Amino acid sequence: MYRRLSMIMFPLMTVLFIGALYWGYQEHQEKNSVLLKAENSYQRAFGDLTYYVHKLNDQLGNTLAVNSTSLDFHRKGLVNVWRITSEAQHAVSQLPLSYVPFANADNFLSRVSNFAYKTAVRDLNKQPLSDEEFKTLRSLYDSSTKISTQLGDLQNNIMSSSLRWMDVELALAANEEETTNPVVSSLRTVNEDATKYAELDWGPAVNSMYTDETIEMLSGSPITAEEAAELAAKFVGTEVSNIDITENGQESSYPTFTATVKDDADGDKKLTITAKGGKLVTFSHYRDVQGTKLSLQQAEEKAGEFAEQHGYHNMEAVSYDEYDHTGTFTFVHELDNDTLVYPDKITVKVALDDGEIVGFQATEYVTNHRERQIGEPSVSLQQARGALNPELQVQEQRMAIIDGDLGEEVLCYEFTGEINEQIYRIYINAETGLEETIEKMSRADQKVSS
């Protein structure tokens, strides 16, 4: 009996053993293939980063080499700097740097990109590069020379010593702060040196992008967590005991409270309330919306009433998006002279089954709203219309304040019109008469804003 059993089991176990070996071999091969692909991807990304930083250095040098009055070449050079720096940032994002303190170097690339873009898009004939901006360019050239050299040396070290990026990732995943991995050490050196570059004079347009926004609108005394809970409870119609409160950024210029209401039957609700003045800035109701029953006009009325009830007065709907049986309206503040202020923006999401407000966001309004003094435009309406495409069929025109490319608010003529069977809003700068920006509108956008 045992002999018969062994005659059966031995071949079976042999087959299973061979199968396990084959399976293990296949798994090992697949793992090696994945690791090889990852390694190749990292090597390619680092090669791209080294190449683009070298090209950035060359382009900065070329821009500085020409005569200071060569405005067209300056613009072309700055556009190329912006493009190359964006490519370098993309390469950085492909590397396993989650645990490496590389934020300073990445921030440096970001500032170079924004400096080049915001300088290139302005009218250099009217506002050529200043002495300070030339000084900044020279400093950027010197800095990029050093970074390019450091990355080139690291690349040579990686190739000559057969270093692997997968080893870098493993060392970082193990949270080895004092790792002696030469790649990690070199990257940390690059990052530490980049802290010195932040001291450059980037100009107000770029610096404003890296400065925390402050609350201009809110007045009143700071509120406590208990008061925030009471406001949240009143808003959603529940007991204070059902509210969980979390404090956010109490030491910052924008402290808030997050109020959460758990409701398994009707869906959770979450609110953000400013610690100064107790202003509602965000609200979300996470529930399923069953079908679409409200018309666009009915939904817009619900959204407008909600904004008015919560202290956002004189708001004008300018756009509309519909998704998954909800309609999201964007409102901007309207001044007494019929001028729209786009930086003072809120969004309201309406459930199209019963008209309930299921989403609200007013952060931009809170951080931007203030009293504005609007002067007379330097360009007349007729001159502004002359800058439009003659084939544009203008349907509506008004004044508007928008955020310009240089980070400042710009007074514009807003023209809504149709061309090539598409509807556009075109903004003509009221000071220069030049096109500031253009945006495509949907038929629903036009309907809610008319």
pLDDT for residue 98 is more than 70? no
Indicate the pLDDT class of residue 188, thresholds 50, 70 and 90. Answer: confident
Region 40-52 average pLDDT: 82
- Closest C-alpha to 449, from 298, 295, 293, 300: 300
Question: How high is the pLDDT of residue 252?
Answer: 59
Of 57-61, 105-109, 191-195, which has the strongest mean pLDDT? Answer: 57-61
pLDDT for residue 416 is more than 80? yes
Least confident span in 164-168, 308-312, 317-321, 414-418: 164-168
State the Cα torsion 212-213-218-221 to the nearest 10°.
0
Region 109-130 average pLDDT: 80
Region 401-414 average pLDDT: 84
Question: How high is the pLDDT of residue 297?
Answer: 92
Rounded CA gap, 87 and 48, in Å?
Answer: 8
Q: Which listed CATH number (3.10.450, 3.30.390, 3.30.70, 3.40.91) goes with 381-449?
A: 3.10.450
CA diameter of the chain:
108
Residue the block writes with tokens 């070449």: 73
- Closest C-alpha to 92, from 48, 136, 51, 56: 48
Region 270-277 average pLDDT: 87
Rounded CA gap, 376 and 339, in Å?
Answer: 12
Indicate the pLDDT class of residue 29, thresholds 50, 70 and 90. Answer: low
Q: pLDDT exceeding 70 applies to what percent of the chain?
A: 76
Q: Domain residues of the chain, as ranges? A: 23-210, 225-368, 381-449
pLDDT for residue 22 is more than 70? no
Question: How high is the pLDDT of residue 315?
Answer: 95
First to last CA, the chain: 93
State the Cα torsion 63-66-70-74 to the nearest 10°.
0
Count of other CB atoms within 10 angstroms of residue 122? 17
Give 72-111 as a DSSP string: HHHHHHHHHHHHHHHHHHHHHHTSS-TTS--HHHHHHHHH
pLDDT for residue 363 is more than 60? yes
Region 181-186 average pLDDT: 70
- Closest C-alpha to 443, from 403, 395, 397: 395
Least confident span in 1-15, 125-139, 329-343, 417-431: 1-15
N residues, the chain:
450
Least confident span in 199-208, 265-274, 316-325: 199-208
Region 378-396 average pLDDT: 92
Indicate the pLDDT class of residue 351, thresholds 50, 70 and 90. Answer: very high
Mean of pLDDT over the chain: 80
Rounded CA gap, 304 and 344, in Å?
Answer: 15
**Comparison of pLDDT for 273 and 115, the residue scoring more:** 273
pLDDT for residue 125 is more than 60? yes
Residue the block writes with tokens 């995943």: 173
Neighbour-count burial of 243, counting CB atoms closer than 10 A to its CB (0-12 exposed, 13-18 middle, 19+ buried): buried
pLDDT for residue 10 is more than 60? no
Least confident span in 63-67, 126-130, 218-222, 425-429: 218-222
pLDDT for residue 185 is more than 80? no
Indicate the pLDDT class of residue 180, thresholds 50, 70 and 90. Answer: low
**Comparison of pLDDT for 213 and 55, the residue scoring more:** 55
Question: How high is the pLDDT of residue 430?
Answer: 93
Name beta bridge partners: 341.
333, 401
